[in-house]
Chains A and B, each alone.
Chain A
Amino acid sequence: MRRGNSPRGPRHSIMSRTGAMLIMGVFTLYFLTPIWWLLVSSTKTGGQITGTAPLWFTMESIPTFFSNIGRLFTYSDGVFGRWLLNSAIYAGLGALLGTIIAAMCGYALAKYEFKGREAIFNIVLSGVLVPATALALPLFLIFSEVKLTNTLWAVFLPSLVSPFGVYLARIYAAASVPGELLEAARLDGSGEIRTFFTVSTRLMAPALVTIFLFQFVAIWNNFFLPLIMLRDQTLFPVTLGLYAWNSQISQIPELRVLVIVGALVSILPLIAAFLALQRFWSSGLGAGSVK
């Protein structure tokens, strides 16, 4: 897009254009076919999934889809709806709070000079290299020490911590909040905290969206923590719930349809959100590596 459709030299022939389009076309099929299959399969009954063309709809697709959805949300006292709600709490609320916490810390590290600043930042950076899964067992041991395993808090509280968010917030704050502006706010008598929430967060808004998205996906994808912490299925996030159903398919075959429809229902909002917020993704991802 940057270079537009500027005239190409004779070297960039139809051959290389076709080759490029062909590569991208083949891989588009690779990336989208599984999602398409999921969409088509969710409009089928258990028998039709094996008995009909896997990648195309049947005559009764639309009514079957709605009856599948109905069964999904009523099966086992509507536990699936509960899982969606739990995921929204763990990932949505968790990422929201986590973003605010990370933004404050990163902002302080970027905009104030104080003793131990570098030390704190280095600890945060090494935290980035500690993967969430490596923490699951240690967290489980700590939570069982205080008898809080198998509670909502056991998954929610650890999810609030995002060293990567602090790292990103520091980069963005350094780049987008001018020190002169903070000086001016001070001369106007605005308190530091108020300046942060009224002025600085506005300047950092694109960064905050990026941090939120990163953390949302991290919590949403974190499987080990809920797997090791939770026994009570009404506390499950939707991924763990679908995993549990999926592992019971051999005993309860009717669950297969519910797993397929449930998988579709749980990824559609995410894909929609990704498409809507793509602008932020692209710019945010770059900032982590290029700067």
Chain B
Amino acid sequence: MTSSSISPALAKGAQKPWRTKTFAAQRRAVLLFIAPFAVLFLAFYAIPIVFAVVQSLLTVEREGTFGAPQEVFGGFVQYQQVFQNTEFWRSVGRVVLFGVVQVPIMLGLALLFALLLDSPLLKGKKFFRLAFFAPYAVPGVIAAIMWGFLYSPTLSPFGLITSEVNVLSAELVLWAIANVVTWVYVGYNMLIIYSSLLAIPTEIYEAAKLDGASNIQIAWRIKIPLVVPAIILTGVFSIIGTLQLLAEPQTLRSFSSAISSTFTPNLAVYTTASVPNYHLAAAFSVVLALATFILSFVFLKATQRKVSQ
């Protein structure tokens, strides 16, 4: 999506290599510019990932029941356990269901708000933009605490509803979490889509307007197709976010007993690591990271093909 579109601009900055003295100075500079990031990236991205993979291939063995534990190479023993772990797969199923429902609703709302902000129908656009974006300043943990209070029958200003319907029950708690996530991120996604709407030159609509096209027709036929890249970007980030859900469910556990210690994949990782069973937790992590990577990659490719057709 992105790498192809930015390369032309780069060529302009390319330097002329025949002046060897400045060339050597430039190479030194490049090294100095890149080294700090490269070192940190290696230490806190690459090496931990490799180490986690290594850990996931180890297993603990004891000699007899009371022998000292010893780490030995176990091949795919941990992965076998991952695939047999029904709790883990139920948690994966849960976040997939969550994503299939919540992501389209959230992005649909974000698109609707962005189009309304961009239409001539609204007054007080600046206020709406700020009000809708404000929840993004609330970290997931704190948003979950706030909504946790709002959900509970005794504290809630919506007592009429929450005393009738227990949104923290086993059947509904997943959607209670979905509401917290939607509340935090709609405004953020709205702004991404809105700023790409602003980048569309007005002249593009003028002809359509002269031909008598309505606002809805312009939105549907012209604006939406042009902001598809922005929607794809928000889609990828949302998929990543959904598979990684942790802060909101973990926080809401103190409000609802319906959220188990393996409610989402990351909760399962945390719970397994606290046992502590680092090898299995590492295997969970690797599977989850791979799944996230593959899903967002596939999503990118699939939507790209659709756009180019």
Closest A residue to B147 by CB, please name it. A34
A110 to chain B, nearest CB (A): 6
The interface size of chain A toward B, counting residues with CB under 8 Å, comes to 119
CB <8 Å contact, A275 and B14: no
Measured CA separation A9–B116 after assembly (Å): 17
CB <8 Å contact, A137 and B281: yes
B36 to chain A, nearest CB (A): 5
Contacts across chains A and B counted by CB atoms under 8 Å: 315
CB <8 Å contact, A16 and B121: yes
CB <8 Å contact, A160 and B191: no
Measured CA separation A175–B137 after assembly (Å): 29
A27-B132, A223-B247, A286-B199 known; A179+B12 contact, CB < 8 A: yes
CB <8 Å contact, A114 and B30: yes
Supply 12 further A-B pairs (C-beta < 8 A) apart from A250-B254, A267-B142.
Answer: A12-B215, A37-B157, A101-B37, A113-B15, A130-B289, A134-B244, A135-B44, A137-B273, A266-B139, A278-B129, A289-B195, A289-B234
Binds A, one of B79-87, B93-101, B148-156, B169-177: B148-156
The interface size of chain B toward A, counting residues with CB under 8 Å, comes to 117
CB <8 Å contact, A224 and B247: yes
A137 to chain B, nearest CB (A): 5
Residues from chain A with a CB closer than 8 A to the CB of B183 are 30-31, 34
Residues in A1-18 with C-beta less than 8 Å from chain B:
1-3, 5-6, 8-9, 11-12, 16-17
CB <8 Å contact, A137 and B292: no
Contact code string A239-250 (vs B, CB < 8 Å = 1, else 0)? 110110011011
Binds B, one of A48-56, A58-66, A69-77, A78-86: A48-56
CB <8 Å contact, B297 and A105: no
Question: Of the candidates B3, B128, B149, B273, which one forms a contact with A122 in the assembled complex, judged by CB atoms under 8 Å apart?
Answer: B3
CB <8 Å contact, A49 and B45: no
B224 to chain A, nearest CB (A): 14
Residues in B38-56 with C-beta less than 8 Å from chain A:
38, 40-41, 43-45, 47-49, 51-52, 55
The answer to whether B258 has its CB under 8 Å from any CB of chain A is no
B116 to chain A, nearest CB (A): 5
CB <8 Å contact, A142 and B51: yes
The answer to whether B134 has its CB under 8 Å from any CB of chain A is yes
